Structure 1
Amino acid sequence: MTTTVPPLPLLLWLQEVVFLMLIRVRRTILQTAFVLCVLILLLWISIFLYGSFYYSYIPTVRYTTPVHYHFRTDCTSPGQDLCSFPMANISLIKNGRDRVLMYGQPYRISLELEMPESPVNQELGMFMVSIMCYTKGGQIISSSTRSAMLHYRSRALRLMDTFFYAGLLLTGFLEQKQMVEVELYSDYREDSYVPTLGALIEIQNKRIQIYAAQLKIHAHFTGLRYLLYNFPITTAIIGVATNFSFLSVIVLFSYLQWVWGSVWSRENIRMRVNLQEGDNVQLQGEESQNTTAASFQQVGKETLETIGTITGSGTSEASEENEAQEECSLLSAVNFCAISSLETDVKTLVPSTVSTSQPIVLKEEEVLPVSNIPQTELRQRGVVQTVHN
């Protein structure tokens, strides 16, 4: 009975492939989750920045506060209901700390009076309403006075109106009254050095009858504030998108700087610079050596030409001098070159009776060091530059 052995290499290969795929999938999921978290964080920061800007840049659009008048009734003269004009003190600070008016922003300030259509108010005619804005210490910084009156309605019109709305009037859904709005300021601007803390409102009539009164402040927007207030959704999308793009660019550059900083660290850059400087120094050394060798060859040629002209030696001697000069150019020992030059001079100065085939032996005292040779003689022999080097 035979048993089949499973192909172990194939199973190992499949296991390795599955393991690698799991690692890649895990890495992809982690990278995707990280990118999503960064994008959500950037979006939240963009919304927060736009909301903060909108809250700080857009002032209070509408502000309405009730006006409670006070007056005196202890007058001594008979026939007068009121002894003084109705007056109210209005504070323009919200919650005891926030100012209603913003610096440089134009405002429209008006007073709305709820007046009954009573015979007294109908006979009242025109009346004056004044406002005085004050700052710290009660100092008046601005004042304005406007006139107002009830809208005229004839007796026949009032009768028809009463007959037509009799049911509503009887049930209390309608009242016979008028809303009179008095514009006190059409373009009031807050001064940053003298802020407005409150206002005094006075009705200059002692017989007027009022149900209620309200002070209304409405801001007039221009430019960017006009767009932000009248097109809030469009400006919000543009603002959030702009903040998101700006923050994304900052994060992208930070990531690239981090990646490049790990690849191009200071140690790697310093090592590369040092290697480049070493190569430059080596090239300069090779160039200097080549220049020195060329100068030695040039000096040797000039020396041989000078010695040949003075001594008038033959072709054989010139060849020997050329060989000696080549040896001088290849060898760096200065004494050897000097000794060779001296031997050549001795050969040229020996009388004709002496056989040139015999070698000339110099005694130790006759071989002088190069440093003891006079400069004029060295200059004639063309070895001055070699001695200094």
Structure 2
Amino acid sequence: MEPNHDSSLALRELAELLTSIDDDVSDARWPFVDEQDRVSYRQFAMHALHHGLQFWLEADPVRPWFHRWFSPSKKLLGDNPDTVYYGTVIDPTRTYRIRGNTANACYTSFTVESGTAGAKMSQKLGHTLNDSEFDVDAAGNYELVASPEDHGRNWLRLDPDAGSITTRHYFEWQRCAALDPTLHIPLVIEPIEDPGPPPVPDDAAAAAGIRRVQTFLRSVTLDWGHTAPPPGVIPWVSARPNEFTNPADHDGNLAIGYAATDNVYRSTRWQLAPDEALVIRGRFPRCRFANVVLFNHHMQTPNHDRRAVSLNRVQTVCEPDGSFRMVVAHRDPGTPNWLDTRGLGCGTVFWRFLLPEEPLEPLETEVIRLG
């Protein structure tokens, strides 16, 4: 039976997209080596669908709402166990008031994403404000204005290609902030001019929402790898596994959608046999925040409720001289600072150094065999 409503057709298109994603597990661009990798891809697609439904199905830039990007059961695009992220769609021609509280975060920021209208992937970073660039009172409260017109110090500029806003709230605690169910970050966005109540969704609106979900889901699955730059193109992404490139330059990550302009990144792939481990030696610079995170093929952290797949400075046991020695391994090496691969033979080691006050020292690596 042929659908006689556009929303029905859109729903069938979504079902066809899910079938295409299942077929995509065999595409040669993926570095999958076993069935577990393919299972992981299907599960990742469900995380992306979860986000698409939450963020894009009823997205309304006239009446925006901040949605939490990640949770222990929804991970994609490089989640961070020490950070809480929110996002909202916006209309770059409108003016909004953003009110919130830092909630004792060590860093709070707002970044405009360019090119995301209609659920497309962020193409580059727009204007960013961090908590040193806007006024925060003694209780942690602040108020910003997001608009195309200048509104002074607490102004988040909206350029014509702006489509959404991403917020970051970093915490450097012993327990990862993303796992704390009691952590509440007050955050509200509202249009300066009241647009009135939203209209009742009709067939066209429902179809448009379902197709936005499709657009987002396709961008992080079928389109991924065809549009993303290969290893080595981004200076801080090593083209060689198990070692870091340690570049000196930092351009603010402005050309990388969903990145943080205040972060300096370092990244490599680990490739380890069952009895191998990757030892990483280095030293934390003076900075606002720093951590290292392990990701699977899809830039998701493995489950970290009971195992350490990330380490911040508070969690890291340093050597007497202030340096650190971390071990990426499939099993406990019997030394401090174990980063648990959760059995993944290959994945990404990803560093964030936030607002460093001095040049980063090189990260040195060595592959060893565990006894």
The alignment's TM-score, normalised by the length of structure 2, stands at 0.21
Identify the structure with the greater strand proportion: 2
Q: Which has the larger radius of gyration?
A: 1
